[in-house]
Amino acid sequence: MSYVAPVKDMLFCMKELAGLEALSQLPGFADAGIDTAEAVLTEAARYCAEVVEPLNAESDRHPPIWRDGEVSTSAGFQQAFRQFAEGGWQGLQHPVEFGGQALPKTIGAACAEMLNSASVSFALCPLLTDGAIEALLTAGSDAQRRFFLPKMIDGTWTGTMNLTEPQAGSDLAMVRTRAVLQGDGSYRISGQKIYITYGEHDMAENIVHLVLARTPDAPPGVKGISLFLCPKLLVNADGSLGARNDVYCASIEHKLGIRASPTAVLVFGDDKGEVGAGAIAQLIGEENRGLEYMFVMMNAARFSVGVQGIGVAERSYQRAVAYARERVQSRPLDSSLAAGAAIIHHPDVKRMLMTMRAHIEGCRALACVSAAAFDTAHHHPDASVRLASQAFHEFTVPLVKGYATEMSIEVTSLGLQVHGGMGYIEETGAAQHMRDARILTIYEGTTAIQANDLVGRKTLRDAGELARSIARQIEATEVELAAGSSAAAKAVFRWLQASREAFIDVLDFVVAQGRSQPTAVYAGSVPYLMLLGQLLAGWQLARALLVAEEQLVDGECDAAFLHAKVATARFYAEHILSTLPGLRDAIVDGSGSVGGMAVESF
């Protein structure tokens, strides 16, 4: 079955939850109203469905090939990426000054979801390039921006992020790659980086590597890391491409999923290029501030990975619904049909499909609202509003990344379950979604790393002040729900209130014990992230229910869509929010059992 982008739901989230019309009144966003959003999303949906999605299954079966340091991508990827670049999609959110369209992240995130629904493997290349662009916009010199950004924004060149090394993993304090200053102000880099997504490929003229490395006199640990710009091909003074740099792809990984995305092992300084030993690079910003700059790129990537989770989950859901409509097996329990019925009539299949749908719509709404906060933080004329919006966006990034990716594993697993035994057969396509989703909770920081960030930087740093302010906003939505008369509004009110109260109990525990008993708090950090992510997603669905019920009363024409919104919000409350008091108990009372067994007994 073909992918159909959920444009209607995306536009609903933008207009009714993220306040796109208000965003379009901000400086720089004058042409970014709902009409523009609809036009852009419609064209993105066409490109993803017609150009990218047809490549997904075949590229999974026939992944890229490495030979003598060169990588040939799967059939069709070169042409699809050329169309992506020519369509201006890489520059959607980036400054007009460098050739972009400067549209809000709120619109860009929806387009990114579609691209990931079509092919997670294909979408990874633009994702990493976006992050590299953000890092150069933040810390690059005028010359670096002038030379590199236009070519990256128009898709002629792509970008990578080089952090991980064989001995380091996520512990960047252990990075050993060296960068030695030369007489002309450049640096020579030597070392090895692993898990470099699209570190080598044939879809663009050049690849711009952003590399974490240490100078010889750098202090130990993360305080001694610098960020360098190291292109595959050097760029001449006139902007033309020059000599092959000394960075070499030693191999690509053979993976469980996202098989069509070449994940490279890169060797710097092995005298394999045309410039002698050591890859020639430029310092980005100041020495020893590399981790600070890289976090700009990493935060953008973490949000984008959460959107990847939503995208692959949506594709899995659509495939499961199509199969459930076609697969005939057994009569309904209520004997409403005399003969066998499509399995979508059976209650447990409905439960699975509703679980998938509710998780996806909750995460989509949360990501959309987070993206709108990012846009407000960068464009609102009032400094206090910018500051508050930035704080909200940063608070929600680990939730979007952590919850949406964990959600994608559950949803794609349910998608396989709906297919029954056929789901385990690769030809149905259900298994690929599950395999592709499995990496999302790992890269750009595992769920535990997101949870530790949520506890340490986002909660304890201000003693829970921002978290409590969000809880007060949720409570205001509860007041609106309590005033409603429908059974759906009452059910959502009940469980949203219970979930918020459970969160406050956990927040009190985290703040009270975070400094004195950190092991007890961090033992429940991932459950804390999941509780908070699901609470905020449920909050957005509650807001959606209020809008939908009001529009139904006003006689809005798309009654089926609005009734589905109400039904989804109620299901989320009764089947997902209802589990949060149990998570509270596990976090507050269960830390002792996490460490209760001796290491030797495992």
Judge whether 426 counts as a catalytic residue. Answer: no
Strands of 113-235, DSSP E = 157-162, 178-181, 187-197, 206-213, 226-231, 233-235
Question: Based on C-alpha coordinates, what's the Rg of the chain?
Answer: 24
For the chain, counts of helices (H) and of strands (E): 20, 12
β pairing state of 178-181 and 157-162:
unpaired
Strand partners, 283: 228
> Cα–Cα distance between 494 and 498 in angstroms, integer?
6
Cα 221 → chain centroid: 28
With contact defined as beta carbons under 8 Å apart, do 41 and 390 qualify?
no
C-alpha distances (whole Å) from 493 to each of 320, 410, 479, 581 are 30, 26, 8, 15
- Counting every residue written for the chain, the total comes to 602
SS3 for 2-24, per residue? CCCCCHHHHHHHHHHHCCHHHHC
Distances (CA, A) of 252 to 162, 318, 446, 591: 15, 32, 22, 40
* DSSP bridge partners of 179: 189
- Out of 287, 314, 394, 444, pick the active-site residue: 444
CA distances from 432 to 142, 312, 405, 506 (A): 43, 10, 16, 37
The sign of the CA dihedral 292, 296, 297, 302 is positive
For the annotated catalytic residues, the residue numbers are 444
